[in-house]
Amino acid sequence: MMNMMKTTSVNSMTIPNINARKKYRVSPLAAGAFCLTAALMMTLTMGVITLPAAAQTTAPPVTAPAPPQPPPLENAQPFSTLPEAPDALPSSYAQAIGTGAPLTLTLADALERAKKNSPFFQAAFTDLGVAHEDHVQARSALLPSVAFNTQYIYTQGNGSPTGRFLPNNGVHEYIAQGLVHTPILDPARFADYRRTAAIEAVAQARSVIAQRGLVVTVASAYYGMVAAQRKYATAQGGVRDTQSFLDLTNKLEQGGEVAHSDAIKADIQYEQKRKALRDSELDMERARLGLAVLLFPNFNLNFTVVDDSQAADALPTYAEVQAMGMRKNPALAVAVSTLEAAKREVFSAWTGYLPTVSVDYAYGIDANRFATRDSNGLPLLGYSTTATLLLPIWNWGATQSKVRQASLRREQARTELTYAQRLLLSDLQSFYHEADAVRAELVMLARAAQLATENLRLSLLRYQAAEVSVTDVVDAQNLLVETRNAYDDALVRYRVALANLKTLTGNF
């Protein structure tokens, strides 16, 4: 009985243990977590990782400290109402520009200043002035010329009236005459006159090319500075937005509504926008320096530009552009005038085979005494006329070589003319289609910027309602900056595209 009872008690004690093991069986995942916790506590005990004294006590759980607050920006305002110009120039600008009132420039003002200070533009007009003076000289060579000649000739005497040299009229000879030279027939001079007229037309067309090219250069630099200022303002707005969002995440973290990783993500975004602000400041400074080189002889940086990038000229139809290009294209005018000059040069070379006729008229004295009458009272004052016919006979093929040389230049000018015509048609289509594409792109980018602004506002509201993650807000902030910068770049591209198109057609 005792054995049975003992056995029963043992069994009664054993069964509960078995049942308890089945009831409190631990899963492998929980066992792994327990082992990991135990290993971490042993590591801390051995001193491998040392926690602050406050963390080693039995105080309540310690929350991570909030990241340092960024310095507040003055005049903070929502990004949706961000101005196109920056609120204030960087401190480096204040040192370079000075304290005086800045000079406000429009695009027209910038063009006038660039014309006065651009060496390439002035070189083109210098070439035009030289070509014009060459034409004036060629024209004067066709007209009668007047001169006055005074001479005294002494010949050693030998007792005769003429002295020792028979060509002389006496021992003492006095010459005082007014001379008039008139070319009657001189084909070479006439051909040179026509050739210089064509060369002047070439220089005139090249000066137009230089002027229109300067417009492209100045417009690119001018609106590049405008875009840099707009991007700087966008970067300022991006910093404001990320600063506000960083403040929001810190408050939500302190209230236990979001994880600490959200605050870290917002802090990283804020630092990236601060870096972008510094980069945009450098871009704006480079744009200002590049424009100052074009406009001012004394490298003045104390100026501002008017942002009229959104008031561009309307784009005409392609048929109108093509018609204006055929009439007003300076590159085509250069090719046509160059061919005309080459033709005149061929004619000028051919004139080497032709005779020339000229007449010389002299009025004055040529006597043995400096007087109007001699010792017998006879008059010494009178006139003489000389007619000259010059007929070329032989010059060892020099004239024929000049003709071949001029003919080669004429054929080259014809080739350049046909190339200029093909290039004009190609450039007209290319520049027009580029301007038309950018114009359509401006409409899309303007709408995209508006949608990105609304997207950021809605993302912030949904984040506060715990409907989206911090990544969605960061993406919305980046998207808004990208769309605004893309719109500003498109404004510059459209202005430059119009300037390029006007180099072919002139003003619309």
**pLDDT score of 372:** 85
- Tokens representing 394 are 């032989």
Per-residue pLDDT band at 99 (split at 50, 70, 90) = low
Helix (H, G, I), strand (E, B) or coil at 183: strand
Are 361 and 419 spatial neighbours (Cβ–Cβ below 8 Å)? no
Read off the pLDDT of residues 390-431 as tens digits, 9 standing for 90 and up. 999 999 999 999 999 999 999 999 999 999 999 999 999 999
> What is the C-alpha separation between 318 and 430, in angstroms, rounded?
11
pLDDT band at 97 (very low <50, low <70, confident <90, very high): low
Percent share of the chain, pLDDT over 70: 78
Instruction: Give ∠ CA 8-10-13 in degrees, rounded to 5.
Output: 110
How many angstroms separate the CA atoms of 360 and 87, rounded? 80
pLDDT, mean of residues 194-213 = 93
What band does 168 get if pLDDT is binned at 50, 70 and 90?
A: low
Q: Per-residue pLDDT tens for 254-285? A: 988 899 999 999 999 999 999 999 999 999 99
d(CA 363, CA 383): 4
In this prediction, residues 349-357 reach a mean pLDDT of 93
d(CA 248, CA 239): 14
- List, for residues 285-296, the tens digit of each pLDDT value: 999 999 999 999
pLDDT at 51 over 60: no
Q: By the 8 A CB rule, do 196 and 138 touch?
A: yes
Structural domain spans, the chain: 86-142+186-354+392-505
SS3 at position 146: strand
Round to whole Å and give the CA distance between 381 and 378. 9
pLDDT at 466 over 60: yes
DSSP state for residue 353 in the 8-state scheme: G
335 contacts 422 by C-beta, under 8 angstroms: no
Half-sphere exposure of 502 (CA within 13 A, CB side): 22
> What is residue 380's predicted lDDT score, i.e. its pLDDT?
85
pLDDT at position 10 is 34
Question: In which element (H, E) is residue 173 found?
Answer: strand 172-185
- Output the pLDDT for position 154: 83
Model pLDDT, residue 165: 60
Torsion angle, alpha carbons of 290, 291, 294, 300, to 10: -100
The domain defined by 86-142+186-354+392-505 carries CATH number 1.20.1600.10:
yes
State the pLDDT confidence band at 114, using cuts at 50, 70 and 90: very high
Q: How confident is the model at residue 78 (pLDDT cuts 50, 70, 90)?
A: very low
Cβ proximity of 143 and 324 under 8 Å: no
The candidate with the shortest Cα–Cα distance to 482, out of 175, 79, 209, 33, is: 79
The residues, ordered by sequence, that sit 6+ positions from 140 with a Cβ below 8 Å of its Cβ are none
Q: CA-to-CA distance for 98 and 184, rounded, in angstroms?
A: 69
Confidence (pTM):
0.69
Residue 212 burial class via C-beta count within 10 angstroms: exposed 0-12, middle 13-18, buried 19 and up: buried
Contact 291, 222 (CB under 8 A): yes
Residue 45 — very low, low, confident or very high, per pLDDT cuts 50/70/90?
Answer: very low
Beta pairing, strands 303-305 & 103-105: parallel
% of the chain surpassing 90 pLDDT: 64
Q: Is the pLDDT of residue 498 over 70?
A: yes
- The dihedral of CA 224, 229, 232, 234: what is its sign? negative
Distance CA 135, CA 195 (A): 8
- Per DSSP, the three-state class of 294 is helix
The phi and psi torsions of 172 (rounded to 5 degrees) equal: -115, 125
Extract the tokens encoding 456: 């950021």
Q: How many CB atoms lie within 10 A of CB 485?
A: 20
Q: How confident is the model at residue 312 (pLDDT cuts 50, 70, 90)?
A: confident
Residue 155 bridge partners (DSSP): none
Report residue 220's pLDDT band, with 50, 70 and 90 as the boundaries. very high
What integer pLDDT is reported at residue 413 of this predicted model? 95
- If DSSP codes are grouped into helix, strand and coil, which group holds residue 66? coil
Distance CA 336, CA 325 (A): 14
For 317-336, write each residue's pLDDT tens digit.
Answer: 999 999 998 888 999 999 99
Site of tokens 């040069």: 345
Residue 60: the pLDDT is: 35
Total residues belonging to the chain: 508
Q: How far is CA 7 from CA 1, 12, 15, 17, 320, in A?
A: 10, 8, 12, 16, 116
SS3 category, 386: strand
In this prediction, residue 163 carries a pLDDT of 62
